[in-house]
Amino acid sequence: MLSVFYRESGRILYVDTEKELQGLRLEDVVWIDLVQPSGAEKRAVEAFLGTEIQSRAQAEEIESSSRYYEADDAIFANTNFLTPGPEEYMMQPVSFTIVDDTLATLREVPLRSFTELQRRMQVNPRQYPSGFSVFASILDQRVDLDADMIELLSKEISQYAKRISDQEDINEELLIDISQLQENTMIVRENVVDKQRLISNLMRSSKVPKALEGRLNVLLQDISSLINHTNFCFERLEYLQDTVLGLINLEQNKIMKVFTVVSVFLMPPTLIAGFYGMNVRLPMIAADEPNASFWNWIIIIGVMGLSCLIIWFFFRRKKLL
């Protein structure tokens, strides 16, 4: 899909075909947005700009030299935009190409920051005089959305902290959920750091208008605050993870303690029962007494119960129960 925004009589107008693009002048076009473009659309934009637009594979490169570089007449920049999924965030690569004052973007999925900006451009055209101003606005909105994601992560962390303090459902599933939150936090932080590196490279460029330096400085300060916030979130998640592991270990220790006490309780009766179960003549067993077997059984049961009481008293005395 092709979307072209150009200036005419103080307004920003919109066309979406290759033929209409060919009828425009480069200095009038502010922004060319490509979303899953066909080969013909991409070739038409490359011919209009006079330079090659990076492919998706190039946009996904992680090396610094591939993320941002400059040619004699163009700036090429790549960054990732986060899209929230059912359980985790996904990174969508976006490629930016700036030739003179015209911006071209290439992406594979619809993005909220792009859609909102396109609507604002037609409402307030004076705020977007060039492709550089559009580029800065995209980054500005993206940083705001990243801040919203970090705020949502912080709220989720607070909910988990409350569950742990109330000792609700302290189990392995809670530990897995905390690990997933850690992964999401790292993804958000990686995404924010990528924006920081991109803006730092832009500020060092001689092609960027001086009027945008203040705006880019503010963005860098916002990003630094977001990085500090993500670091705090990650440290808090590590604390929650350690707390959950400690509570699970305590619960397991209580269970093992019960099994140990029960085993110790049963050891003396088992010893006595095994002793009198031997097929030999034993004390308190007289074959010539007709009622001896009944009373001997009562006496043996009493000895077994007495042994349990002695052990119980010993554990209570040592404060083990």
Structural domains in the chain, sorted by start = 2-249 (3.30.460.20), 254-317 (1.20.58)
Q: What is the mean pLDDT of residues 119-128?
A: 83
What is the rounded average pLDDT of the residues 158-175? 79
pLDDT for residue 95 = 86
What's the confidence (pLDDT) of residue 144?
Answer: 87
- Nearest-angstrom CA–CA distance, 276 and 274: 6
Q: What percent of the chain has pLDDT over 70?
A: 86
The reported pTM is 0.71
CA angle (151, 145, 65) in 5-degree steps = 115
- In this prediction, residue 174 carries a pLDDT of 81
Task: Reply yes or no on whether the pLDDT at 63 is more than 60.
Answer: no
Distance CA 241, CA 170 (A): 11
Tokens representing 313?
A: 């008293």
Question: Residue 276 has what pLDDT?
Answer: 64
Of the listed ranges 129-143, 211-225, 281-295, the one predicted with least confidence: 281-295
**How does residue 291 score in pLDDT terms, banded at 50, 70 and 90?**
very low
Among the residue ranges 10-19, 125-134, 272-281, the one predicted with the least confidence is 272-281
Report how far residue 103's alpha carbon sits from residue 110's, in angstroms, rounded to the nearest whole number.
Answer: 18
Q: What is the pLDDT of residue 97?
A: 87
Under DSSP, is residue 120 helix (H, G, I), strand (E, B) or coil? helix
As a whole number, mean pLDDT of residues 187-207 equals 85
Cα 261 from chain centroid (whole Å): 44
Question: Residue 295 has what pLDDT?
Answer: 62
Q: What is d(CA 103, CA 49) in angstroms, rounded to the nearest whole number?
A: 9
Give CA–CA dist 224/159, Å, rounded.
25
- Hey, CA dihedral for 55, 58, 64, 70, is it positive or negative? negative
Amino acid type, 86: P
